[in-house]
Amino acid sequence: MATDSRWSVPYGPWIFYLDDTGYEKILRYRGHSLMFAGDGTKIQEYKNWIRSNPVDASGMPPQKGMSVCMIHDESGAVAFRKHQDIDSESVLCAGSGSYWAFGCWKENRCSKQAVETAKSRDQYSGGEMKFVDFATSATNLMPAVGQVDMHIDQVTSNILKRGIAMKVQSLQTGVPNLNFPKVGTPLSSISEVEARAAAAKLAAAGQLSATAPCNGMHNDWSAEDKEQFKQALGKMFGWKD
């Protein structure tokens, strides 16, 4: 299992991002590793809830806004997966770099190299490659104690204060939940300063968060999806049926 470490905030034609923030996309808990992509606020909700060691599913947060892949550490078996952008040939990829990662994996059969390739091709991918090797138990994730102190709101704030700005040439118009100025404002005329200020205002109001963007973050979860996720989490927590 491997990820990049870039978190980003898009606004119109601008992407603001930071690498190596210390906010991991993989959460390890009770012998399992959960790899998330999608909206940072949603991922934070699940990190908080899982770390609270719930005794049942009564407080389980809504799922829409994220993709998740859950692996049993000892066996390496997939305990649950949903809204992966690519699910093929026993490979699961979620995120804007999935196309490049999957192509690389088919040639090299190496998740670490797949992430490195995605970083070199995709504007939303970057920073240190983070991994968990289930065969050897090796990992370069931040220790669990340090991760608890990290919050996505601080990541978002840091991005909008000092993050690198990138202006993209093509826009994903029509995609839900992306932040665009109102109709009538020429996108090309929005400066970096204006975009950064507008994004910061939305973030302060709780309407915008750093993301690890993936197509699956826009998809609905069916009742069956939710039940399967609950069952997988129940096994991890040791809930009684």
Tens of pLDDT, residue by residue over 61-101, are 999 999 999 999 999 999 999 999 999 988 999 999 999 99
76 is a domain residue: yes
| pLDDT at position 175 | 43
| Identity of the residue numbered 30 | R
Structural domain including 67 reads: 2-6+22-143+217-236
Q: Indicate whether 64 belongs to any domain.
A: yes
| 79 part of a folded domain | yes
DSSP run (H or E) holding 2: strand 2-3
DSSP-derived pairing of the beta strands 164-167 and 130-131: unpaired
Specify if 227 maps to a domain: yes
Mean pLDDT within 139-154: 86
- Tokens 């973050």 belong to 217
Domain count for the chain: 1
Does residue 92 form part of some domain? yes
Give residue 168's pLDDT.
82
How does pLDDT run across 190-232, given as a tens digit for each residue?
899 999 999 999 999 999 999 999 999 999 999 999 999 999 9
Q: Is residue 123 part of a domain?
A: yes
Residues whose CB falls within 8 Å of the CB of residue 57, separated by 6 or more in sequence, listed in order: 230, 233, 234, 239
The amino acid at 87: D
Residue 137 confidence (pLDDT):
95
Q: Which residue has the higher pLDDT, 136 or 168?
A: 136
Mean pLDDT of the chain: 91
- Residue 203 domain-assigned (yes or no): no
Looking at residue 210, what is its pLDDT? 96
| Cα–Cα distances in angstroms (integers) from residue 70 to residues 76, 136, 210, in the given order | 10, 18, 22
- Token pair in block for residue 197: 């200020």
pLDDT at 222: 97
Residue 63 lies in a domain: yes
